[in-house]
Structure 1
């Protein structure tokens, strides 16, 4: 929050301690040296976390000196970011589709391109009464929680192999007010679903990064996000293909499947859909023009 200080009182806070300007400059130099992009902005973000000062105050009062405990905390945060720990994990939260999500090293950090699945899912089910949704691999829960938040009459089941990730999903379902409409199950792909359970929509952001590409990922991703959520340990298409093959057993007639995929994977994934089972399938690009989401609909008959 903003300290309750007038201009003359701000000046009185100056001492032998470091000022905001000095702290940001020193931190930006350290971050830049560690290969962190947009170092000045990230230094200010870290200072805001450490001091709980509003960003407007940090910009307006560069000569203000935080207290020593805040400076110590800030320098610890800078060291963590210099080691390439993601800012979102340091902050402990990330905004997604207008909602706030807790993030830890147990889950993937929600990303803007994944919002495409939420937007398309809400659109597809806009005319369906009391729609049902299943997510394979909930992670933070950002997809299914956002879907349920955007469709107040919807219910969902979230499947997740990692118990630690499932706990984060639960926290985010509670904090975003959808927990009463979401059932969570520890599950490897569809393993925890029962015969006869079916849904209007199945969604997934599966581990699609080929194992051979993991070493070339940014350190923030490679070293700090769960590998089981990044790669299937093979060509990145193994779990994708399993979902495509097994989803029809759990979709209602005319139901939909939405999958996030990686760069250049759309031709291979589209070939997985049997035209005798699926009525239509297609790839949709993200804001950068990269085919990022596959949408397929089960035949109505």
Structure 2
């Protein structure tokens, strides 16, 4: 069975669109699992049916910890499941489910897979992720043409990390339930997940098939400065965990200096960056990180 796992934060209309794209696919055994991070969003309950389960979090857990709640729920019931983690503001392209089944049957070694993500205009916006530990660069690839095979439905290759906007986990490859690091609230939890499991010997794969369509930042763009703050905090946290202290220190100081220089012309962005630096410094000093609400 395929379990689709998504996280709700006042996005029931978007999840309804996602559910419709799943139902319109080829006939197969599936369940949509929604972890509700918005405790007062009554509309999400209307989506629950024989194919859809809503798990209510006690508070806004952030993305990774909410996914953990769903992953544990699925693993307890079906440790041999295939789990497709997908953003609430994304939906499946035509034939995506059949393409995934075809790929996993042909390449049974795949445990962690990221799919191609396109925006609503048809522009490719994620084709695998790269990481350079010696300078702290973490980036997304945009062009699949240089690396992917042209074989129909079989194009896949190794990459450093994949996006949890559309990430497939093949449970039979894991001896225990896989999980996201709870230190993360929002952003870079997918990068950390991939690098952590890569150190345990797992290969990270990206495939041009299947594909999903993502209404980019339709949720997180609601509050730009808080979005940027979480991005900077999680980026620095990722360098702490996966790069040297020298690289972390250089990047932190550089972000702080550049942000200070942007205060006059780009104040919302600069304020968000400096807030992220402050949040990270508070964490390293053992203080409570205050801005926990989701943008």
**TM tier, shorter chain?**
under 0.3
Rg larger in 1 or in 2? 1
- TM-score normalised by the chain length of structure 1: 0.26
- TM-score normalised by the chain length of structure 2: 0.27
